[in-house]
């Protein structure tokens, strides 16, 4: 069932206005007039006709975003009939709908510019919103709505036009700059499966990399062990965990393998009320150190405030974590009382071609164990992953202006930031991380 959100309408409007390079108010009136005229005809043409397929629900919310119109009501308090309302109010009357609602029955058989659906599988998984993007063009129009969904929920799921690796890279570059990984290819893509071989160097320490096993992988943030310095493009950049990760399903497992998401912002809020002392401990640098293979993040915090004010969640509950004695109770309480509580957990199983965008500074992600027994060769569970770097990594300057790539920095090369694409330069920065109430 096609669905849409207020945030989707707002993002949709932004994408409508941006190409003009004009001020908001200079084009707002003409934008709504254009929508009204096209809604009158309900033209049944393809995407080349621009906004001819735009649904009334979207148009109404766009009108509300621009003019903050109030819905006119009749004497009995109900909405007036359409014939008694100005055209613009006919659009605004739809703004009373809930944040996510069904489209009007008159438009259910029409294909919107992009659409969302809310699924509630019989498997007990959590209801989730999916952005349906059957073409790249549809994705580009939905990009801002998807970004708004990530900002408000910490994640988004896209039903992409195909399941090729190039599609994952295309989507990723619209949200950030790719950060590489020791198991990634030249484009920063990691193939996640039980038999993946990308980089021979790490294979001698395969047990350190839980992502290549079929066992349960407890919810965690990616790159928790990263804290270093990379020299590239003539600059020394402080290396941090990726701001986001994207997971693309290429092949589902025969059994199991559901993804688990936990909203760290919700947990952070509840700890303020229920465990403020433990929250203070876990927000203190030095409470935990993470070490995996040749990477180590010394004296870290679980809830770490960055220079730009972002609160970054950095957490793993496995053998990579080394916890200070004074923080042990707080660390275990966080895992057992909060992160292990089902009320904080969202479960979903990606299907072939679906892409999950996850805010790595806010959300934990994990995976249930899975089995591929009895499946044909080439049909085992397979996902691709790509990291996106923090947009404002601190730049460090050598005291005597010496630009030198030292041997100690070599181990960070595998996690370097790749060259930015032209698409990245034209995108707005995406709000990430845990945001505290004012």
- Statement to judge: residues 98 and 223 lie in one domain: no
Torsion sign over Cα 261, 263, 268, 271:
negative
Kindly state whether residue 149 falls inside one of the protein's structural domains. Answer: no
Asked which of 315-324, 354-363, 375-384 is least confident by mean pLDDT, the reply is 375-384
CB contact at 8 A, 287 and 323: yes
Q: Residue 241: its pLDDT value, please?
A: 96
Query: What is the CATH number for 246?
Result: 3.60.130.10
- Tokens 């990634």 correspond to 184
pLDDT(312) > 60: yes
pLDDT at 88 over 50: no
Q: Is 38 within the bounds of a domain?
A: yes
Query: φ, ψ for residue 112 (rounded to 5)?
Result: -70, 170
CA distances from 286 to 293, 303, 304, 412 (A): 20, 11, 10, 22
> What pLDDT was estimated at residue 183?
79
The answer to whether residue 285 sits within a structural domain is yes
Residues 265 and 336 in one domain: yes
In the predicted structure, residue 24 carries a pLDDT above the cut 60? no
Residues pairing with 382 in the sheet: 251
Instruction: Give the model confidence (pLDDT) of 119-149 as tens digits.
Output: 544 444 556 789 999 999 999 999 999 999 9
Alpha-carbon distance of 170 to 144, in angstroms, equals 15
353 has pLDDT over 70: yes
The answer on 91 and 181 residing in a single domain is no
pLDDT of residue 291 exceeding 90: yes
Residues 85 and 210 in one domain: no
- The pair of structure tokens assigned to 49 is 């006709």
Quick one: pLDDT at residue 134?
A: 96
Tell me the per-residue pLDDT of 199-215, one tens digit each, with 9 for 90 and over: 556 555 555 655 555 67
Q: Look at residue 437 and tell me if it is in a domain.
A: no
278-305 mean pLDDT: 96
Considering the domain architecture, whether residues 27 and 99 belong to the same structural domain is answered as yes
Does residue 152 lie in a domain region?
A: no
Residues in the chain: 438
Strands 235-239, 321-323: pairing is unpaired
Q: Please check the confidence at residue 59 and state whether its pLDDT lies above 80.
A: no
Residue 35 pLDDT? 53
Q: Which of 257, 156, 154, 275 is nearest to 215 (CA)?
A: 257
pLDDT band of 248, cuts 50, 70, 90: very high
**Domain co-membership, 88 together with 228:** no
414 or 196, higher pLDDT? 414
Mapping DSSP onto H, E and C, the string for the chain reads CCEEEHHHHHHHHHHHHHHHCCCHHHHHHHHHHHHHHHHHHCCCCCHHHCCCCCCHHHHHHHHHHHHCCCCCECCCCCECCHHHCCHHHHHHHHHHCCCEEECCHHHCCCCCCCEEEEECCCCCCCCEEEEECCCHHHHHHHHHHHHHHHHHHCEEEEECCCCCHHHHHHHHCCCCCEECCCCCCCCCEEEECCCCCCCHHHHHHHHHCHHHCCCCEEEECCCCCCCEEEEECCEEEEECCCCEEEEEEEECCCEECCEEEEEHHHHHHHHHHHCHHHHHHHCCCCCEEEEECCEEEEEECCEEECCCCCEEECCCCCCCEEECHHHHHHHHHHHHHHHCCHHHEEEECCCCCEEEEEECCCEEEEECCEECCCCCCCCCCEEEEEEECCCCCCEECCCCCCCCCCHHHHHHHHHCECCCCHHHHCCCCCCCCECCCC
Reported as a single tens digit per residue, the pLDDT across 261-287 is: 999 999 999 999 999 999 999 999 999
pTM of the model: 0.71
Query: What per-residue confidence (pLDDT) applies to 20?
Result: 36
- What is the model's pLDDT at position 68? 38
Q: Is residue 55 part of a domain?
A: yes
Asked whether residue 430 is assigned to any structural domain, the reply reads no
Please give the residue range of the domain that contains residue 57: 3-143
Q: Are residues 12 and 101 in the same domain?
A: yes
| Mean pLDDT, range 48-58, rounded to an integer | 41
What is the total count of domains within the chain? 2
- Cα separation, 148 vs 150, in Å, equals 5
308 alpha carbon, distance to own chain's centre:
20
pLDDT tens string 381-435 = 678 999 999 998 989 999 998 877 788 888 888 899 998 888 776 677 888 999 8
Confidence grade of residue 437 (pLDDT, cut at 50, 70, 90): low
Does 188 share its domain with 63? no
pLDDT tens digits, 89-127: 333 333 333 333 323 333 333 444 455 655 544 444 556
Specify if 91 maps to a domain: yes
Please check whether residues 374 and 416 belong to one and the same domain.
yes
Looking up tokens 């294979």, which residue turns up? 203
Residues 168 and 281 in one domain: yes
Neighbouring residues of 299: CB distance < 8 A, sequence distance ≥ 6? 285, 286, 289
- For all residues of the chain together, what is the average pLDDT? 74
Same domain, 170 and 270: yes
pLDDT band for position 49 (cuts 50, 70, 90): very low
Find out whether 336 and 219 touch, Cβ atoms under 8 Å. no
pLDDT at 38 over 60: no
Winning range, highest mean pLDDT, from 111-125, 156-170, 241-255: 156-170
Q: Let me know whether 356 and 263 are in one domain.
A: yes
């Amino acid at each position: 069932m096609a669905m849409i959100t207020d945030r989707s309408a707002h993002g949709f409007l932004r994408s409508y206005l941006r190409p003009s390079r004009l001020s908001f108010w200079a084009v707002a009136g003409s934008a709504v007039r254009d929508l009204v005229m096209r809604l009158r005809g309900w033209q049944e043409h393809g995407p080349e006709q621009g906004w001819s397929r735009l649904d009334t629900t979207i148009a109404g919310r766009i009108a509300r975003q621009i003019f903050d119109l109030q819905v006119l009501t009749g004497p009995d308090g109900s909405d007036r009939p359409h014939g008694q309302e100005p055209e613009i109010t006919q659009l605004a009357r739809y703004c009373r709908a809930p944040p996510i609602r069904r489209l009007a029955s008159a438009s259910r058989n029409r294909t919107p510019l992009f659409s969302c659906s809310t699924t509630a599988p019989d498997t007990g998984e959590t209801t989730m919103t999916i952005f349906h993007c059957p073409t790249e063009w549809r994705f580009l129009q939905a990009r801002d709505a998807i970004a708004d969904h990530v900002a408000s929920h910490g994640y988004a799921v896209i039903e992409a036009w195909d399941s090729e690796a190039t599609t994952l890279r295309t989507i990723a570059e619209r949200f950030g700059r790719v950060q590489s990984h020791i198991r990634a290819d030249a484009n920063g893509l990691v193939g996640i499966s039980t038999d993946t071989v990308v980089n021979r160097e790490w294979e001698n320490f395969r047990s350190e990399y839980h992502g290549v096993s079929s066992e349960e992988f407890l919810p965690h943030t990616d790159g928790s062990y990263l804290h270093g310095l990379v020299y590239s493009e003539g600059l020394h950049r402080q290396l941090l965990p990726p701001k986001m990760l994207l997971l693309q399903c290429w092949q589902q497992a025969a059994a199991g393998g559901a993804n688990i998401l936990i909203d760290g912002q919700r947990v952070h809020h509840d700890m303020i009320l229920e465990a403020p002392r433990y929250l203070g401990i876990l927000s203190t640098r030095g409470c935990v150190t993470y070490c995996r293979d040749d990477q180590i993040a010394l004296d870290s915090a679980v809830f770490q405030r960055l220079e730009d004010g972002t609160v970054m969640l950095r957490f793993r509950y496995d053998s990579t974590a080394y916890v200070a004695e004074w923080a042990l109770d707080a660390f275990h309480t966080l895992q057992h009382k909060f992160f292990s509580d089902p009320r904080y957990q969202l479960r979903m199983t990606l299907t072939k071609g679906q892409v999950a965008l996850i805010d790595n500074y806010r959300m934990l992600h994990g995976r249930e164990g899975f089995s591929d027994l009895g499946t044909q060769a080439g049909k085992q569970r397979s996902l691709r992953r790509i990291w996106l770097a923090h947009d404002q990594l601190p730049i460090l300057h050598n005291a005597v202006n010496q630009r030198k790539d030292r041997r100690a920095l070599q181990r960070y090369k595998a996690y370097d930031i790749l060259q930015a694409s032209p698409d990245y330069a034209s995108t707005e920065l995406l709000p990430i991380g845990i945001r505290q109430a004012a």
